[in-house]
Amino acid sequence: MEHQKPWDSDQITRDYLDALLVEMRHVDAVMPSTRLELYGETFDTPIMMAALSHLHNVRDNGMVEMAMGARAANAVNWAGMGDEAELEAITATGARTIKIIKPYADNDYILGRIAHAERCGALAVGMDIDHAFGGNGQYDVVLGQEMRPKSLSELKEFIQATRLPFVIKGVLSEQDAYKALEAGAKGIVISHHHGIMNYAVPPLYLLPKIAKVVNGQIPIFVDCGIVSGMDAFKALALGADAVCVGRAIMEPLRKNGWEGVREKIQKMTEELAGAMARTCSRDLKSIDPTVIHQRKGW
């Protein structure tokens, strides 16, 4: 089917996900476990919340309700842009939360936000490096605050400033994966920030190459377009450790609050378990990448 908007990175990503086919394997199959071990803690699922922001437009107190849903599903929660009071309310739910900080021009402000996330008891902290520039090639401005690209030495400074694992979000190349490792990151998110650049490569297209670079040294997370357990299965098969889900939880959150979020996470986890059971995948680490086949045309 021809793209109505051939430049639309979200649509390109969806088309690529749908072009990946899965073979079945039944002999010697076992009941699968979706348990995720991450940063010394155990979760029931690799289906995580995305680093969303400003969910009051979806539901009153939306960020806290999302965290409550993640906590109820024993899933990892993420938090994007928001003030300190909001992060305190999020972490007070008991949700194990990864706080992502924008690449603000003021590095002292960044260091302050890192320290605050640590005081809040966050599971990890990180930065979405892909928000440095706008589409016009000028420095991005988000809610009146100027952004800047960050050098390898600056990333090292942020990473060394905290005892928390530091995650670099917005990796969409082997080059940045190498630099993330050199900086000392303890995780990366492969993402194009839901189409922040037109014609962006789908995350799963580059995932096997980036996974080869990382070689199991740090966790790899995948963002953008994950809306089902089968999408998650494909990402895990190609080298991800877990996936981030954002837009797919918006409607459940709007309709049913934290219970809707919990139900969506659990439904996607059941879909993932179904795919694992039918491919002889006993746990997340044993999903064989050779079960994935790419439809012709990609």
Task: Say which amino acid occupies 183.
Answer: A
Burial class (CB in 10 A: 0-12, 13-18, 19+), 108: exposed
Residues 6+ apart with CB under 8 A from 185: 126, 155, 159, 166, 167, 168, 218
Q: Which of 56, 131, 193, 194 is catalytic?
A: 193
Q: Which residues are within 8 A (CB) of 210 and not within 5 positions of it... i.e. 6 or more apart?
A: 171, 173, 174, 177, 188, 190, 220, 239
For 166-222, the DSSP string reads EEEEEE-SHHHHHHHHHHT-SEEEE--TTTSSTTPPPHHHHHHHHHHHHTTSS-EEE
Tell me if residue 193 is catalytic: yes
**What sign does the CA torsion over 247, 253, 258, 260 have?**
negative
List the one residue out of 24, 48, 1 whose CA is nearest residue 187.
48
Q: Could you list the active site residues?
A: 193
